[in-house]
Amino acid sequence: MATPAKTSGFSFGKFMLSLLLIVLAVAALYFAVVLNWSYSSGERAGWVQKFSKKGWLCKTWEGEIALVSMPGAIPEKFEFTVTDEAVAEQINRVMGQRVSLHYEQKVGLPTTCFGETRYYVTRVLRVEDAGQGGASTPNGPTMPAAPPPNPPALPAPAAPSAPAPVPGAPAPAAEPPAAVPGLPSSGSLPPAAPAAGAPAKP
């Protein structure tokens, strides 16, 4: 009677399962590196003119701002993606206003499930607030700048005092009184009338 052949320790099912786990681990490591590493980052200032949430399965916020370098120039468009709901809410509040967007550029992400663009906005700040010295916090509202302190009051200038007399020097001549309108000057005053009962001088 024939004996059954011994099965080998190698199993095709175990090999496929091990291979699948290795592929998943490599993919998870790849996406972790790509999503946390930025190829470039910077700021773009312009007017937000389009912002909407769209996508077939993975919905992301997609926006567009108009960049104008100088008056009369043709505006350049900058398209961006937002994945943070807090940042998307801030952008919705400043629609039509000039803002400064801080973005990070990601590369190597497949499909559009991660967004239609690779420029991910992480912070937004109104240009008016930035010009007034305001500061923004990541994923938070803008904070107004503190008002400057009031300058200290300057003392009033003292009135000039008369110079002290010098011993042995002649006293300054007194200024003649101002002339009164309608009265003759001191040089042309008529002689005083004699008192009653006094003999007239020849």
Domain map (residue ranges) of the chain = 41-143
CATH topology of domain 41-143: OB fold (Dihydrolipoamide Acetyltransferase, E2P) (2.40.50)
Tell me the C-alpha distance between 76 and 51, whole Å: 16
Would you list the DSSP string of 122-179? EEEEEHHHHHTT-EE-TTS-EEPPPPPPPPPPPPPPPPPPPPPPPTTSPPPPPPPPPP
5 CB neighbour count, 10 Å cutoff: 6
pLDDT at 32: 87
What is the structure's pLDDT at 155?
Answer: 65
pLDDT score recorded for residue 163: 61
Determine the pLDDT at residue 88. Answer: 95
What's 70's DSSP letter?
Answer: S
> Residue 126 has which token pair?
């109104």
Decide if 129 contacts 144 (C-beta within 8 A). yes
Q: Whole-prediction pTM value? A: 0.54
- Mean pLDDT, contiguous 10-residue spans, the chain (202 residues): 54 87 92 88 92 90 86 84 94 91 92 90 83 44 51 63 62 58 54 53 50
Asked if residues 117 and 55 have their Cβ atoms less than 8 Å apart, the reply is: no
Left, alpha or beta for 72 (phi > 0: left; psi -120 to 50: alpha)?
A: left
- What confidence score (pLDDT) does residue 15 get? 86
Instruction: Give the helix ranges, DSSP H, for the chain.
Output: 12-36, 85-93, 127-131
